[in-house]
Amino acid sequence: MNPEILGFVMDQLFEIGALDVTFAPVYMKKNRPGTRIEVLCRPKDRDVLIQEILTQTTALGVRYHPCDRAVLHREPCQMDTVFGKVAAKKIRHPDGTDRMVPEYEALAKIARIRGLALKEVYARACGNPLDRKNDKI
Amino acid sequence: MNPEILGFVMDQLFEIGALDVTFAPVYMKKNRPGTRIEVLCRPKDRDVLIQEILTQTTALGVRYHPCDRAVLHREPCQMDTVFGKVAAKKIRHPDGTDRMVPEYEALAKIARIRGLALKEVYARACGNPLDRKNDKI
Amino acid sequence: MNPEILGFVMDQLFEIGALDVTFAPVYMKKNRPGTRIEVLCRPKDRDVLIQEILTQTTALGVRYHPCDRAVLHREPCQMDTVFGKVAAKKIRHPDGTDRMVPEYEALAKIARIRGLALKEVYARACGNPLDRKNDKI
Amino acid sequence: MNPEILGFVMDQLFEIGALDVTFAPVYMKKNRPGTRIEVLCRPKDRDVLIQEILTQTTALGVRYHPCDRAVLHREPCQMDTVFGKVAAKKIRHPDGTDRMVPEYEALAKIARIRGLALKEVYARACGNPLDRKNDKI
Amino acid sequence: MNPEILGFVMDQLFEIGALDVTFAPVYMKKNRPGTRIEVLCRPKDRDVLIQEILTQTTALGVRYHPCDRAVLHREPCQMDTVFGKVAAKKIRHPDGTDRMVPEYEALAKIARIRGLALKEVYARACGNPLDRKNDKI
Amino acid sequence: MNPEILGFVMDQLFEIGALDVTFAPVYMKKNRPGTRIEVLCRPKDRDVLIQEILTQTTALGVRYHPCDRAVLHREPCQMDTVFGKVAAKKIRHPDGTDRMVPEYEALAKIARIRGLALKEVYARACGNPLDRKNDKI
């Protein structure tokens, strides 16, 4: 499989319902390095995703098995930061506390516009937004 | 595990019924890099394959779980190419069309004998065999 | 290092002059899986790229050494295909022959618009464009 | 995820009941290299381990599925070696024979104290302990 | 190579002067998955480290080449946090600013003693230590 | 790159002078998993090997840099084992001692013919060949 095609396939799989797609490096017979495509999906989307993989790639077969998933409750929200309000997720932790996590795209955009390191943008957005409102940014 | 032994084990597992064997790099406790051996097999061959792994390797346990597989229908065939007839697989795609894929061993042999790049042999074999019958090869 | 940051860093490094950026999985002391960032660049861009890595990531040091590169001569061109003219690269091979390789972005766009598998678009674009001009696509 | 945290999490998971923990390198969307944490546990420990992962890491979800395991019977024992008695495991093989495997910690300690290569300590401990009792070590 | 031995070798190499040791998964001929041991060291320690690798492992050869390194200036310091003073590194960034990074061992110890997630300990230690002095911890 | 082609290329590179060839999994831009081909060779063979890679693969460039190598002196020999004489290498260690290592092919053949685990064949061949001459094998 051409790696260009694999990048394309990942996008396609997300578009038609994959909840998660990961690639893992594997090693096959006859000294062939390969890539395993792993897809997480709802049962109702399974067959369409299998078809897509068999159509888009040179794979001759796809294995699948049911699995459960424990997920933290999350909901979209706005988060106050030194950069102003940014799109975020509010996540409920196992111990009942909430945590707000800013969205990557929102912070990446700030980093690009202001010419800051993304690492720095994360640190400042998550740090202590209320106390730093008077910072010169 | 000695890597030499892993290569040997892969061959053995195919010989006694494995449908597929892959190695995946993993990282274990105490800074130990390891190799996961993953085997796909029919239910009837499972126990023999587990025995083989426990006999051939230093693994103390083998995990297994059932999985289903969606496979494209395929059958052996002969394919006309600019290099003459070569062993191939006829594969039926999800949309009902057929595709012929020449066998690796057949093309690798042609590449070795003629001193061509295997990439080139694939391209020419799959390209448009009928229209190129008059090429000087 | 947050993986979101690594994806961002790759983009940044290409923007400021990296010729190539790859990530490789490595295992470090104390059971820490890590990612090695590998950058190929011209000597004149080296220091700026090192600064960027030290600014954007949590790395405390960057190793570098000179290396040479043998590259095939290539130039942008247009390629006739069953899908019409598409952006491509003309590559001169070691044996003096030329090969045209369509650009990924051009074929990916065709695949998306027509709803075809990218694999199929590649095969048809590279196959035998002149002889298929009358195909119904 | 900070790799330092991953090393810590591995230790924690073993402490609260994991039978095995491995890390596998994966590649996610948007050019993000990641690490899959894979845990083997008894059904009764599953929920506590899932909670730990969701608490300790930035993962928003954990997948799980039942699996069986074929394990070789093993029991702790003492093994006579040229270095004296060392802690070991007696393992019963599929063919009914027993094999003694010295514990890593015991041999590593010997290697450190005597300034020998661990490879050498393994070879001598496993080689033929009875016949070498008169070796000068 | 037995993975147990590789973990041991990593420790040994650090003890005798390695500045950094990483393992990388590679694939060798005859379907053999292997591990590349990569060591960074000062020129004066090179020969001793090579000897150690050739003594401790089954490798028959070691490749080496000179490389330079750009490193951020760093010095040990104490850092005020909501958990009290902890051992840290003061790092000077390319732009001339300083950043304090608490030592992993110090925070891991706090996490273990207080039963907190290490992720949480990092966030609170780095967050905004001065303004949170009155938190109930 | 088709993985079948990579297996073929590895064989070719060894045939025309490569001293070692390894594959390493890497991640490239646009979510493309790739394989790095790493070749060790004598300076005199470098250009031919570069040509081969550029001819056989879709790579548009090859990087190279000089490196030194520390190798243990080794020479072919015959080794007495419980299975009779087998082809082996005599290796001189850094401390001046010699070690005999049986050749993989010789032991793999014994394992196949006798239906023994290769692991067992290694253990018995290296264990204590002289003292076991009277074993019933």
- D107-132 pLDDT, tens per residue? 999 999 999 999 999 989 987 433 33
Asked if F95 has any chain D CB less than 8 Å from its own CB, the reply is no
Neighbours of chain D (3+ CB pairs under 8 A): A, B, C, E, F
Backbone conformation region of residue E30, classed left if phi is above 0, alpha if psi is from -120 to 50, else beta: left
Asked if E25 has any chain A CB less than 8 Å from its own CB, the reply is yes
Q: How far is D93 from chain A (nearest CA, A)?
A: 27
Q: How far is F69 from chain A (nearest CA, A)?
A: 25
Interchain pair E32, B1: CB under 8 A: no
Asked if D76 has any chain C CB less than 8 Å from its own CB, the reply is no
Residue C123: list chain A partners with CB under 8 A. none
Interchain pair A127, E128: CB under 8 A: yes
Q: DSSP string covering A15-72, please?
A: HTT-SEEEEEEEEETTTEEEEEEEEE--GGGHHHHHHHHHHHSS-SEEEE---EEEE-
What secondary structure letter does DSSP report for F109? Answer: H
Pick among F6, F15, F31, F37 to test the A interface (most A CBs inside 10 A)? F31
Asked if E43 has any chain D CB less than 8 Å from its own CB, the reply is no
CB–CB of F116/F127 below 8 Å? no
Residue A131: list chain E partners with CB under 8 A. 128, 131
| Nearest Cα residue in chain F from D28 | F31
Asked if D24 has any chain B CB less than 8 Å from its own CB, the reply is yes
| Nearest Cα residue in chain A from C111 | A8
Interchain pair D24, B29: CB under 8 A: no
Pick among E68, E89, E95, E107 to test the C interface (most C CBs inside 10 A)? E68
CA separation for the pair E52, E63 (Å, rounded): 14
Local confidence pLDDT in tens for the 137 residues of chain B: 688 899 999 999 999 999 999 999 999 999 999 999 999 999 999 999 999 999 999 999 999 999 999 999 999 999 999 999 999 999 998 888 898 999 999 999 999 999 999 999 998 998 743 333 333 33
Residue D80 β-bridge partners: D85
- E67-106 pLDDT, tens per residue? 999 999 999 999 999 999 999 999 998 888 898 999 999 9
| Nearest Cα residue in chain A from D26 | A24
Neighbours of chain B (3+ CB pairs under 8 A): A, C, D, E, F
| Nearest Cα residue in chain E from F98 | E55
- A8, A9, A104 member nearest C4 (Cβ): A104
Q: Which residues contact F137 (CB under 8 A, 6 or more apart)?
A: F82, F83, F114, F124
And the tokens for E105? 């061992």
Pick among B29, B98, B120, B128 to test the C interface (most C CBs inside 10 A)? B128
Pick among B10, B20, B32, B36 to test the E interface (most E CBs inside 10 A)? B32
| Nearest Cα residue in chain F from C104 | F30
3-class secondary-structure state, position D1: coil
Residue A40: list chain D partners with CB under 8 A. 63
Asked if F15 has any chain E CB less than 8 Å from its own CB, the reply is no
- F48-63 pLDDT, tens per residue? 999 999 999 999 999 9
Q: Is the pLDDT of residue C48 over 90?
A: yes
Size of interface A-F (CB pairs under 8 A): 44
Neighbours of chain C (3+ CB pairs under 8 A): A, B, D, E, F
Label residue A1 by pLDDT band (50, 70, 90). Answer: low
Q: State the pLDDT at residue C126.
A: 84
Interchain pair C50, E66: CB under 8 A: no
Asked if F55 has any chain B CB less than 8 Å from its own CB, the reply is yes
CB–CB of F4/F56 below 8 Å? no
- A109-137 pLDDT, tens per residue? 999 999 999 999 998 998 743 333 333 33
- A8, A56, A119 member nearest C5 (Cβ): A119
Interchain pair D31, F29: CB under 8 A: yes
Residue C62: list chain E partners with CB under 8 A. 69-71
Neighbours of chain E (3+ CB pairs under 8 A): A, B, C, D, F
Residue B62: list chain D partners with CB under 8 A. 69-71
Asked if F90 has any chain E CB less than 8 Å from its own CB, the reply is no
* pTM metric for this prediction: 0.91
- B25, B30, B127 member nearest C128 (Cβ): B127
- A29, A30, A127 member nearest E127 (Cβ): A127
Cα–Cα distances (Å) from C30 to A56, B1, D35, in that order, read 40, 21, 15
CB–CB of C29/B32 below 8 Å? no
Give percent helix, percent strand, percent coil of chain E, each to the nearest 5: 40, 35, 25
Local confidence pLDDT in tens for the 137 residues of chain E: 688 899 999 999 999 999 999 999 999 999 999 999 999 999 999 999 999 999 999 999 999 999 999 999 999 999 999 999 999 999 998 888 898 999 999 999 999 999 999 999 998 998 743 333 333 33
- E25, E55, E104 member nearest D117 (Cβ): E55
Q: State the pLDDT at residue F1.
A: 64
Neighbours of chain A (3+ CB pairs under 8 A): B, C, D, E, F
The closest of A44, F27, A136, F41 to C23, measured between CA atoms, is: F27
CA separation for the pair B14, B20 (Å, rounded): 7
Q: How far is A25 from chain D (nearest CA, A)?
A: 7
Which has more pLDDT, D128 or A5?
A5
Asked if E34 has any chain A CB less than 8 Å from its own CB, the reply is no
Q: How far is E130 from chain C (nearest CA, A)?
A: 23
Rounded to the nearest integer, the mean pLDDT of chain C is 90
CA separation for the pair C119, C127 (Å, rounded): 12
Residue C25: list chain B partners with CB under 8 A. 25
Q: State the pLDDT at residue D1.
A: 64
- C22, C69, C101 member nearest F61 (Cβ): C69
Cα–Cα distances (Å) from A59 to A30, A56, B20, B22, in that order, read 17, 9, 13, 14
Interchain pair C23, D31: CB under 8 A: yes
Q: How far is E101 from chain C (nearest CA, A)?
A: 10
Interchain pair B8, F58: CB under 8 A: no
Q: What stretches of D1-137 show up as alpha helix (H) in DSSP?
A: 3-15, 46-56, 104-114, 118-127
Q: State the pLDDT at residue D127.
A: 73
CA separation for the pair B102, B123 (Å, rounded): 11
Residue F25: list chain A partners with CB under 8 A. 25, 33
The closest of C122, C94, B23, B121 to E35, measured between CA atoms, is: B23
- A27, A123, A132 member nearest E33 (Cβ): A27
The closest of B33, B57, F39 to E25, measured between CA atoms, is: B33
ipTM (interface predicted TM): 0.86
- D49-105 pLDDT, tens per residue? 999 999 999 999 999 999 999 999 999 999 999 999 999 999 998 888 898 999 999
The list of chain F residues with pLDDT below 70 reads 1, 128-137
Q: State the pLDDT at residue C1.
A: 64
CA separation for the pair A104, A106 (Å, rounded): 5
